[in-house]
Chains A and B, each alone.
Chain A
Amino acid sequence: MPFNRKHLLGLEELSAEEITAILDAADTFKEISERPIKKVPALRGKTIANLFYEPSTRTRLSFELAEKRLSADSVSFSKQGSSVSKGETLRDTVENIQAMKVDMVVMRHQSSGAHRFLANFLDASIINAGDGQHEHPTQALLDMMTLRQRWKTFAGKRVTIIGDIMHSRVARSNIWGLTKLGASVTVCGPATMMPASVESLGEGGVTVEHDVRAAIAEADAINILRVQLERQKGRLFPSMREYFDVFGVTAEVLSHAPEHCIVMHPGPMNRGVEIGQEVADGDRAVILEQVTNGVAVRMAVLFLLAGGSLDAGTLQ
């Protein structure tokens, strides 16, 4: 299946076939990171700029490693210590970077729609590494890759996403991706962190549940979101201890899920807030596997957007 897009702005605009094409490519790329020499020349000569307007550890390192393993030349930039602190606009910053002949721009930005804005005038490919509370497509893709490696198919499966749905770009991208591929999604969290009409989101909508035990009763996987205090305007729940008591996923809570149900978390985890210690470190958790898959997914996305096709010999 050819993948002919210039940008990866979000999963809402992708078809099921396009998502599957990325996941297929990612499965292929995963093996490279297992090699003693973890490098292929697939993007040799391509230049990639990583622009991180928001703090990031995992996503940024994951993209940088993906770029290096594909032999791209990459430079990274964060909001601290850049011209942003001198008042330069986003448009000017990115146009200047493009003037240095960059082929791809990976960006995380606090404003929803920032990538769509750049796509209006940028020639380089744009990869969304998270925009405000809108989408975080590569996170959802790596979550789906992790699930698909166990399930083979999404049809008939249920994923429960627990936490601050309103402020979560991870939730939005997962809802679009999972429902397009045929999985059912339940969202669970405080009523104050449920966005309007969330039940209509995704292909065919999602189920909304406020009782965490009921929400996971039929889940094949649960995805626990971090409580994003930095995005909330005003307090949307009374205290951390109350959150943990009502929505925290502890071993006792998890005992209400089917035995085969696995536990995901996009990180960074707040242990003792949204996830209990014994769950985070338990044998149902696939959290580190997600991180491993993240590199493969990002290699796949970079490769496909650069116009690559997986013919024999590409990955030697």
Chain B
Amino acid sequence: MIDWKDKREFWIAGARIADPAAERMRVGSVLVQRGAIAEIVWQKSVDTDLPVLEADRFVLAPGFIDVHAHLREPGFEDKETIETGTAAAASGGYTAVLCMANTNPPIDDPSIVEYLGRRAALVGHCRLYIAGALTKGLQGEIINEYGLLKHAGVSALSDDGRWVTNSQVMRTALEYACQHGLPVIAHCEDSFLAQSSLMNEGYHSTRLGLRGNPAAAEEIAVSRDIMLAALTGAHLHVAHVSTAGAVDLIRRAKKRGVRVTAEATPHHLTLDDSLLESYDTNLKVQPPLRGRKDIEALRAGLLDGTIDCVATDHAPHTEIDKDVEFDEAPPGMIGLETAFAHLHTALVKTGAVDLLDLVRFLTARPAEALELPGGCLKKDAPADLVLIDPEEEWTLDRALIRSRSRNTPLVGTAFTGRVQGIFLEGKWRSAIMA
């Protein structure tokens, strides 16, 4: 019954196939041969001597791609490693993740890129794409060796976690990145306006006595970076958009033809700042959780294409880091293992988004936004696939989290829809612990 698992040739039969390029989902069967998609037929069953995975309960989609994860290696291996981070990704349905550069040392030297590539080949559970640091030491002062970094294998450039405050440095970075054909992922937040802030500025920050981060901090930064993208012709990707105003700025920039793409996180699409009354440090993220109107604007932006894709901003921190007073805790929550189930429960089951759209936000759209391979179902392409049971009901159990860190406010949350596992070049990895 399970003999398809380790085979080099098998059929996945009778699944509902979520092809991002199709109008809607259809029942079909996929032949996997030597790690690639050999054939897709639009029939429920296949007449074959090869092993068959009967998948009629499941949805089959291209493997998810996360363009924003902090895997913490090198330097913060107590929080996460390439091994544990990619394991978390795989159990969330991801066949590829892009890791951010704010490690210690930062990913600002080709040797670190090569090191990470080797780690991923050795212990990785999914594909690894790497963002190189935009500036030396993430200091926002001197641009890095983009040519050497690209040669070593980076897919994008980013000082994520920090905004480049000096506009001249950012202009230079964008011009030089453009020459090398690398997108620049920007953490847009005016660092002076947001200084020492702990949550979204508004009624709840006033009520809770937590210093506020105004929406203007993000919108000022997004405005400047859009203007510099227009000036330089470079590809700007706005990370973790959180405010309605920022969505509007990006929408108008796209209309003008500026090369800007953008992402939103599952938590900014679902959780609002009123939750902070628990002072749960797992809800402390940067940018902060915003209000209901911002959530509605992000969802509308995702549906009309202003926001290109969902990205997790998976940001692991240990219990030691997080089990402190609210203002002492570092910002960030993990997200790779819950992104699909969280959004399927909050957006698809409520009728706000259909399942095929959610699959697009997690596959084709991130791939297109950052010009990465995958995210589609094509004959002869690597069989990077995800198998989903859209009806399974489950509850997030803290003990079964695969990330090395467990900083999520979703422990104990009931979800509908669960990733069963991924095929990485045709090789099955179950998402569910026995």
Residue of B nearest to A169 (CB): B209
Among B202, B207, B323, B328, the one with the most A-chain Cβ atoms within 10 Å of its Cβ is B207
Question: What band does the interface of chain A fall in when counting residues whose beta carbon is under 8 Å from B?
Answer: 20 to 34
What is the bound-complex CA distance between A276 and B412, given in angstroms? 56
Q: How far is the CB of B219 from chain A (nearest CB, A)?
A: 15
Is A195 within 8 A of B208, CB to CB?
no
Query: How far, in Å, is A52 (CB) from chain B's closest CB?
Result: 15
**Neighbour of A201 across the interface among B201, B207, B279, B328, CB < 8 A:** B207
Is the pair A91, B202 in contact by a Cβ cutoff of 8 Å? Answer: no
Residue of chain A at shortest CB distance from B323: A91
Q: Which residue of B lies closest to A53 (CB)?
A: B325
List of A residues within 8 angstroms of B203 by Cβ: 196-197, 200-201
Q: Is B212's CB under 8 angstroms from A112's CB?
A: no
B111 at the interface (CB under 8 A from A): no
Using known A-B contacts A111-B326, A116-B279, A117-B325, determine if residue A195 contacts B206 with beta carbons closer than 8 Å.
Answer: yes
**A215, CB-defined interface residue at 8 Å:** no
CB < 8 Å neighbour of B208 from A91, A109, A134: A134
Apart from A131-B209, A201-B206, 18 more pairs, CB < 8 Å: A90-B325, A111-B326, A111-B328, A112-B208, A112-B326, A113-B209, A113-B279, A113-B326, A114-B325, A116-B278, A134-B208, A134-B209, A134-B210, A196-B202, A196-B203, A196-B212, A198-B206, A201-B203
- A260 CB to closest chain B CB (Å) equals 31
Contacts of B248-277 to chain A: CB distance below 8 A: none
A113 vs B207: C-alpha distance when bound (angstroms): 11
Interchain nearest-CB distance for A113 vs B (Å)? 3
Q: A228: CB under 8 A from chain B?
A: no
Pairs A–B under 8 Å by Cβ, sample size 28:
A89-B323, A91-B324, A111-B327, A112-B198, A112-B209, A112-B326, A113-B210, A113-B325, A113-B326, A114-B325, A114-B326, A116-B278, A131-B209, A132-B209, A132-B210, A132-B327, A133-B209, A134-B208, A134-B209, A135-B209, A195-B205, A195-B206, A196-B203, A196-B205, A196-B206, A198-B206, A201-B206, A201-B207
The A99-151 residues at the B interface (CB cut-off 8 A) are: 109, 111-114, 116-117, 131-135
Query: Using an 8 Å CB-CB cutoff, how does the interface string of B189-214 with A read, 1 for contact, 0 for none?
Result: 00000011010011101111111101
Among B195, B206, B210, contact of A233 (Cβ-Cβ < 8 Å): B195
Once A111-B327, A114-B325 are accepted as A-B contacts, the answer to whether A197 and B202 lie under 8 Å apart by CB is yes
List residues of chain A with CB under 8 Å of any chain B CB.
12, 89-91, 109, 111-114, 116-117, 131-135, 169, 172, 195-198, 200-201, 233-234
Residues of B within 8 A of A (CB): 195-196, 198, 201-203, 205-212, 214, 278-279, 323-328
In the assembled complex, which residues on chain A have CB atoms less than 8 Å from the CB atom of B210? 112-113, 132, 134
In this complex, which of A113, A116, A134, A200 has the most chain B Cβ atoms within 10 angstroms of its Cβ?
A: A113
Select the residue from B209, B212, B279, B324 with max chain A CB neighbours within 10 A.
B209
- Does A195 contact B325, Cβ atoms closer than 8 Å? no
In the complex, chain A residues whose CB is within 8 Å of the CB of B209: 112-113, 131-135, 169, 172
A114 / chain B contacts, CB cutoff of 8 Å: 325-326
**If the complex has contacts A117-B279, A195-B212, are A12 and B207 also in contact, measured as CB distance less than 8 A?**
yes
Would B206 and A197 count as touching, CB distance under 8 A? yes
Instruction: Please name the residue on chain A nearest to B279 by beta carbon.
Output: A113
The CA-CA distance from A116 to B277 in the complex, in Å, is: 9
A-side contacts of B198, CB under 8 Å: 112
Task: Give min CB distance, B317 to chain A, whole Å.
Answer: 15
Chain B residues closer than 8 Å to A196, beta-carbon distance = 201-203, 205-206, 212, 214
